Amino acid sequence: VMDPSAVSLMRDNNIPIVVFSLKEEGSLLKVLHGKGTSTTINNHGA
C-alpha cells in the first residue's frame, strides 16, 4: 500500500515501483533475484 505522496516522490526521483504479491511464500526473494511474477511501474515513455 502506498499513499499519493510516496508515489509522487518515487515518480519525481525516477525510482521504479515494483508490485508483487506477498501471499506466495518466498515471493520477495524471487522478485529481488529477477524471478517470480511482478509488475514494474516507471516513468519511461511518460
Q: What is the 3-state secondary structure (H, E, C) of the chain?
A: CCCHHHHHHHHHCCCCEEECCCCCCCHHHHHHCCCCCCEEECCCCC
| Reported pTM | 0.71
Each of the 46 residues of the chain gets a pLDDT tens digit; together they read 889 999 999 999 999 999 999 999 999 999 999 999 999 998 876 5
